[in-house]
């Protein structure tokens, strides 16, 4: 499935190639990044909010590859948001709950492990219990609380917010995960799609009202390739798997959601011509790794840190739990634990977003630090 963004990419590819090899650094329009989301983007919020540490991501070997210590990130190293910050020459984003609120430099991260797009009350009203209250609304309120430390006057704030890059996710995946983990029917899960999209687009609208001009909104990941789902929904029925070993019906659901999200973003873009609402195609960026793992240097499709089962994953013995070890070389694996990917995978995904075909058609690339372009070298 090609995204609408890929087609636009083809039109601008020549342009980007010319400038990506230039050594001059134009003035970067992004002075800071603000990030919302879940465990794909959390750089320590849940970690700083929970004492004693209560999540398996807060124990070794998490963080072993890059930070050499636990940071609250659910990976062996950096996340997509870290690589985006690096490529813009900005510091790695500090988690809002762990940062000094004075002298905020480079932005802040509001993403929380396990967070949902929808509010807790939405689930409670439907008799569904979920293990988080860190919805997108909660995260957006944190941003509004932080705003007075960034700027004073309304004009000043519009300028500060306008010169920031907003990463709106990935968020919304958990709204579906909590239902799918309980093995609720896909028909029921689908009824949540319009609400999740509304929550995300409302947040985008509100930020644009506060002056935001560049917002990147990721879609859902290929759920059918996720080790957790491959384990929960393991079946003898070969027809349920595609040629890459992913569950077709779950990937179809993610595609369905992503299509709906993209058309809503398109509609929103029409209402806000001065803003850049950019769809980030996490789905195809991640799927490309599973389609041709060796091209990206991955030689093992089992999860790196885990224990037992066909995918080296067992939900009752998570990475970070006592006795569960990491593989020798995480860079050879796409999956780090059952849900999250390795730093090696996140790096390639980030490159694919910034330099590659996974969208960001109007993302200003002129100020990117001239680092190695890896797999997306022209």
Ligand X SMILES: *[C@@H]1O[C@H](CO)[C@@H](O)[C@H](O)[C@H]1NC(C)=O
Which residue's structure tokens are 């890896």?
Answer: 374
**Shortest distance (Å) from residue 317 CB to ligand X:** 4
DSSP state of 373: -
Residue among 46, 30, 45 at smallest CA distance from 86: 30
**Shortest distance (Å) from residue 27 CB to ligand X:** 21
| C-beta closer to ligand X: residue 104 or 275 | 104
HSE-CB at 247 with a 13 A cutoff on CA atoms is 19
DSSP assignment string, 254-311: HHHHHHHHHHHHHHHHHH-TTSEEEEE-HHHHHHHHHHSGGGGT--B-S-SS--STTT
Stretch that binds ligand X, among 207-215, 236-244, 307-315, 327-335 (CB under 6 A): 307-315
340 an active-site residue?
A: yes
| C-beta closer to ligand X: residue 28 or 151 | 151
By CB under 6 A, tell whether 309 contacts ligand X.
yes
Stretch that binds ligand X, among 311-319, 338-346, 348-356, 358-366 (CB under 6 A): 311-319
Task: Report d(CA 368, CA 356) in Å as an integer.
Answer: 13
| C-beta closer to ligand X: residue 89 or 309 | 309
**Shortest distance (Å) from residue 103 CB to ligand X:** 9
**Shortest distance (Å) from residue 314 CB to ligand X:** 4
By CB under 6 A, tell whether 317 contacts ligand X.
yes
156 an active-site residue?
A: no
185 an active-site residue?
A: no
Task: Report d(CA 245, CA 240) in Å as an integer.
Answer: 9
| C-beta closer to ligand X: residue 23 or 316 | 316
Number of shown-chain residues binding ligand X (CB under 6 A): 9
| C-beta closer to ligand X: residue 6 or 159 | 159
For 13, the 3-state DSSP assignment is helix
Interaction residues for ligand X, span 140-159 (CB under 6 A): 149-152
Q: Nearest-5° angle of CA 122, CA 254, CA 355?
A: 115
Catalytic residue among 38, 42, 175, 337: 337
By CB under 6 A, tell whether 314 contacts ligand X.
yes
**Shortest distance (Å) from residue 301 CB to ligand X:** 18
**Shortest distance (Å) from residue 263 CB to ligand X:** 38
Task: Report d(CA 129, CA 132) in Å as an integer.
Answer: 9
DSSP lists the bridge partners of residue 66 as none
The token pair at 10 is 């083809």
Find the residue with minimal CB distance to ligand X. Answer: 308
The token pair at 163 is 């010169």
Q: Roughly what angle, to the nearest 10 degrees, separates helices 136-150 and 154-162?
A: 120
Task: Report d(CA 345, CA 330) in Å as an integer.
Answer: 10
Strand 214-218 to 32-36 pairing: unpaired
| C-beta closer to ligand X: residue 113 or 160 | 160
Catalytic residue among 3, 32, 39, 135: 39
Catalytic residue among 32, 135, 164, 340: 340
Per CB under 6 A, residues contacting ligand X are 149-152, 308-309, 314, 316-317
Catalytic residues: 39, 337, 340
């Amino acid at each position: 499935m090609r995204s609408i963004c890929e087609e636009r990419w083809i039109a601008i590819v020549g342009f980007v190639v010319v400038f990506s090899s230039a050594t001059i650094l134009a003035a970067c329009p992004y002075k800071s990044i603000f990030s919302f989301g879940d465990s794909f983007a959390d750089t320590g919020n849940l970690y700083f909010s929970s004492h004693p540490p209560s999540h398996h991501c807060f124990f070794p070997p998490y963080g072993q590859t890059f930070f050499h210590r636990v940071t609250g990130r659910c990976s062996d190293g950096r996340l997509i948001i870290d690589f985006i910050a690096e490529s813009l020459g900005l510091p790695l984003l500090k988690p809002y709950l762990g940062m000094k609120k004075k002298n905020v430099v480079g932005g802040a991260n509001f993403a929380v492990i396990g967070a949902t797009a929808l509010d807790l009350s939405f689930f409670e009203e439907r008799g569904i219990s979920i293990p988080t209250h860190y919805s997108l609304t909660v995260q957006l309120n944190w941003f509004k609380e932080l705003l007075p430390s960034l700027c004073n006057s309304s004009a000043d704030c519009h300028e500060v917010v306008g010169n920031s890059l907003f990463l709106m996710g990935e968020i919304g995946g958990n709204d579906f995960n909590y239902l799918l983990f309980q093995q609720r029917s896909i028909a029921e899960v689908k009824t949540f799609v319009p609400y999740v999209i509304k929550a995300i687009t409302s947040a985008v609208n509100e930020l644009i009202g506060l002056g935001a001009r560049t917002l990147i909104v990721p879609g859902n990941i290929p759920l059918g390739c996720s080790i957790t789902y491959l384990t929960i929904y393991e079946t003898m029925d070969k027809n349920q798997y595609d040629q890459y070993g992913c569950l077709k019906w779950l990937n179809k659901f993610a595609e369905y959601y992503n299509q709906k999200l993209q058309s809503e973003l398109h509609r929103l873009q029409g209402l806000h011509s001065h803003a850049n609402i950019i769809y980030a195609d996490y789905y195809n960026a991640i799927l490309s790794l599973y389609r041709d793992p060796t091209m990206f240097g991955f030689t093992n499709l089992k999860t790196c840190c885990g224990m037992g089962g066909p995918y080296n994953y067992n939900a009752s013995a998570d990475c970070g739990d006592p006795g569960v070890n990491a593989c020798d070389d995480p860079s050879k694996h796409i999956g780090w634990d059952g849900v999250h990917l390795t730093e090696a995978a996140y790096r390639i995904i980030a490159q694919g977003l910034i330099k590659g075909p996974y969208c960001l058609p109007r993302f200003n690339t002129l100020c990117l630090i001239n680092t190695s372009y890896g797999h997306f070298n022209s």
